[in-house]
Amino acid sequence: MLNFWEKLPKPFFVSAPMLDGTDAAFRRVIAECGKPDVMWTEFVSADGLCHPQGRTRLTRELYFTEAERPIVAQLFTSSPEKIEEAARLIHELGFDGIDINMGCPDRAIEKQGSGSSLIQRPEQALAIIRAAQKGGKGLPVSVKTRTGYRQNEIERWIPQLLASGIAALTVHLRTRHEMSKVPAHWELAAKVVELARGSGVKIIGNGDVATLNEARSRAKETGVDGVMIGRGMFGCPWVFSDAPEPSLEEKLNIMLRHAQYYEELYGDTETNHTLFGGRKKSFLLMRKHMSAYVKGIAHATELRTSLMRANSAQDVKEAIEQWRNGNFAQAKKGL
């Protein structure tokens, strides 16, 4: 089976997996505005995928379209048996790769023995990788992790992952203890690259990168093969594009289109019933996206207030139209 990682340019630029963020609606917008070299799903519980009811519910989070390829499904678990079974499903669904989350600091995830807790249990981590490789039937397996748990453990932790036969390794350049409370330690990326030399593993740096130019600079400075952009995508789905920044009108249209895609997929619609059996998602999850879209727009207080009350794409459309009619000219002058 083709390992798409070998076909990527250097440097390449990828979108981060973000819970309640990088769903199919947002990925569709990103793909339209300027597609990254690789896209990730939100992270999904391998244990849940192994339960009949959980599989029915979670396959909604694994929906994707051809426009998103290459696309990687990110899984989390503490069980080699569960991830082997889940990896078989990922293969059947037609994904291009499997990524294992070994960096999430959420306490609920850690209590399950998953996420960043695996940094402290390398033998279990390696067993999970081997099981994913077996269940994936040739799909390239990658890992996303951190520089350590309480302190920098690159020289202990990273070589073990590099020796496991993974295709790519994303390193969030902070420890689990640091969360996102300190600037990412990009000075450590060059050390990871040095450790990976000769292994054939693609190294992806992650942390505090907000623009494509910044990503290019980080790649040049450190020698990483690729850079992952996470929070920089919010309110800026064109972040991977070299095209001029959209105008205010275009930004508002993109925001509305995003809301419409979200409602189409996750609202009480024919599409939702056909794809997901009527399993909806709250429109409230769109509000953080809308808040990001209007951040920095002058004289947008009323628009922001209306958007934070929106419960449908129609509400978003009306909020934009009302604000545009009353404040649009003034806002354009203020940008």
Report the C-alpha gap between 305 and 297 in whole angstroms.
13
Closest by Cα among 207, 262, 205, 287 to 27: 262
Is 50 part of the annotated catalytic residue set? no
Contacts of 290 (CB under 8 A, 6+ apart): 255, 259, 307, 308, 310, 316
Residue ranges of E strands in the chain:
12-15, 39-45, 71-76, 97-102, 141-146, 168-172, 202-206, 226-229
CB 216 within 8 A of CB 11: yes
- 33, 50, 104, 236: the active-site residue: 104
Residue 111: exposure state from Cβ atoms within 10 A (0-12, 13-18, ≥19): exposed
Look up residue 255 and give its two tokens: 């925001």
Cα dihedral sign for 223, 225, 230, 235?
positive
Report the C-alpha gap between 84 and 77 in whole angstroms.
10
Dihedrals phi, psi of 162, to nearest 5 degrees? -65, -30
Residues assigned a catalytic role: 104
